[in-house]
Chain A
């Protein structure tokens, strides 16, 4: 055998020492020069006749992934998607609500005329059916507009460019650049986002991506955000810019979610999950002409129907539950009143109220139904026929239930940050096979949501705004 004069540890120590003296950006330099050299070699040996497509792609890429324009272009596109959704969703929503609630009234009186017991009429029509009606009328129109438009961006090949634009931020946060992609998946569905973290090979960075995926609003939460933006933010602005303001507020919430993703990744990678970010190569696929059929299929069947179906599945029992809570007396008050009273102090402390928290508890199986559940609790006794437009909803919430802009803002924040839905929690467990990480994945966002809402509520109450 050879005589080994230098130990591996000595080599490592020396390399660490030398490494500290180096500018950390040399990896970028090496990768950049690799690409530069490849470009140079290809330029010398390749000659192209015609085929302007590649040049065209590159010219677009130079804008949408440029250092200065990349992020603004991204925000503008996102804003435009929300703006279109908000503009388009209002009227169909109102029409659907009108239709459903006239059905409810007619069916309930038909039940009564047939001699059905009062509790059966109540449970079926004022409970289950009303829950479904709210879910469909509040959620279907925004989804039917938002998903196709978002899918067009996806189909064009824009999402890898988003990952490219955000990569450096994630690496600064100690996370993997591919987390930008899994985050983008999370906009579709957090459970799918958690599953998609399989593309990240390093277990440390994968856990970061799993634990923070919840901080981007999923399809189920977008309608909630959009609705709140329409009812409260838009109403605070003159009609000419109302839709724009609402869209901007949703973009702001999404940005805040990205900030939380980065901030929490940063904190975790310096505490529980410490380590360095690993490099990866992201290939920009060529832009494709979106296929209309595929877009319609993906956005309407895979997404709209899927999300709506799941929402309806949970909304039916939730509707029944709310009706029971509101109609079963315990002592001198109904169960609903009692649980709301119980949650009220906590709710008020964080700028929300007992009804909203109750809605969140009932909506744990699927975040989509939070707003419908909440409305059912608030409007339990009211005549549904009278409340179908967004303006009327707003009047009831503000006039009768003491909502303020703070309530709406905090509800948006809470909706952005609170614990993932049951499906996502289950997926986290499936992917990590660890009760501890699953618990952290569920409780950390919930804790953050309470803290942030508490902070804004206290700030607003202390400051003379």
Chain B
């Protein structure tokens, strides 16, 4: 694949808007996780010296991106801000959420702390509400062992419906398995069926009532159910994205390449 071919790809048009340079890469991978899970170690171990540090467009939050190769493909790795959740309106969480929703990375790696799995799984479950394409990186396995905590990663993977890989990022243990899982999910070879929370019956009915309208407004929009749920919850950022045409625009690009629209860059950057 070459850079021109990338330019034609719909999701990548959005990437360019978000300030991610997608030239010379085949897949975009997002790196999410709670603070203090060794997310940076994973990032550094995967990308080595091929890193670029900048800011999220219009924000003061640092963004690092880097690249790695595997199986003849080139991957761009985008480090999202460390967050505990994607629910609130904090700047960090909004950046992560927007990137998952609008950037549509080919795979999202969620780094979790094996010594505090329960707390970390909250973010994993929230990421899985937005995207199917995820890999869970169960990091700090050595610390867990030292604390007498044993994590059955295979059972976890089965329960979550996405690949889960045990790692010790500091010593690079398990990272090649992680990269192989990422490649499988990004290329679509690995099928995932993420575990999702069933809303209460009346909310499910409301979602079912709203999803057809959202699909009517923005045919082909992925995560329409998630958007419906956020609207029913009164999430004002999602309302803004809806009114500004950002959501509809995203769906359009899913179907055909669209020229980069400068106003949307503003919409994403200046959503505050």
List residues of chain A with CB under 8 Å of any chain B CB.
1-2, 4-12, 14-15, 18-19, 21-23, 26-27, 29-31, 33-35, 37-39, 41-51, 201-202, 276, 278-281, 283
Contacts and interface: CB of A to CB of B under 8 A. Distances in A.
Contact of A35 (B122, B239, B255): B122
Contacts of A14: 209-210, 213
A287 to B, nearest CB: 15
Contact of A48 (B125, B148, B156, B200): B148
Range for the number of chain B residues in contact with chain A: 35 or more
A26 B231 contact: no
B232 A283 contact: no
Contacts of B232: 15, 18-19, 22, 26
Give the one of A1, A7, A45 with max B CB within 10 A: A45
A6 B218 CA distance: 8
Interface string B69-106: 00000000000000011011111000000000000000
Given A10-B217, A11-B231, 11 more contacts: A11-B210, A15-B231, A21-B202, A27-B233, A30-B229, A38-B118, A38-B121, A41-B121, A42-B117, A44-B152, A46-B152
Contacts, number: 154
B267 interface: no
A19 B149 CA distance: 43
B29 interface: no
Interface in B124-152: 124-126, 147-152
B203 interface: yes
Nearest to B233: A27
A38 B195 CA distance: 11
A45 B152 CA distance: 5
A276 B214 contact: no
A39 B197 CA distance: 13
The CB with the most chain B CB atoms within 10 A, among A21, A49, A276, A281, is that of A281
Given A47-B152, A201-B88, A6 B217 contact: yes
A11 B150 contact: no
Nearest to A26: B203
Nearest to A42: B118
- Can you list the 3 inter-chain pairs with the closest CB atoms, starting with the nearest? A42-B118, A38-B121, A49-B148
A172 B218 CA distance: 35
A8 B240 CA distance: 10
Contact of A15 (B210, B216, B236): B210
B248 A44 contact: no
Main SS class of interface, B: helix
B266 interface: no
A278 B88 contact: yes
A112 B14 CA distance: 84
Contacts of B126: 34
B151 A41 contact: no
13 contacts: A10-B217, A12-B239, A22-B232, A26-B202, A26-B232, A29-B199, A30-B233, A31-B87, A34-B125, A38-B124, A38-B125, A201-B91, A278-B88
Given A2-B219, A51-B148, A45 B213 contact: no
B145 to A, nearest CB: 10
A5 B206 contact: no
B2 interface: no
B150 A49 contact: yes
A23 B90 CA distance: 25
B243 interface: yes
B159 to A, nearest CB: 5
Contacts of A280: 85, 87-88, 90
A202 B237 CA distance: 11
B122 A18 contact: no
A11 B213 contact: yes
A462 B259 CA distance: 76
A22 B87 CA distance: 19
Interface string B226-248: 00110111101001001101011
A303 B244 CA distance: 49
A281 B88 contact: yes
B60 interface: no
Q: Which of A8, A44, A202 has the most CB of B within 10 A?
A: A8
Contacts of B197: 30, 33-34, 37
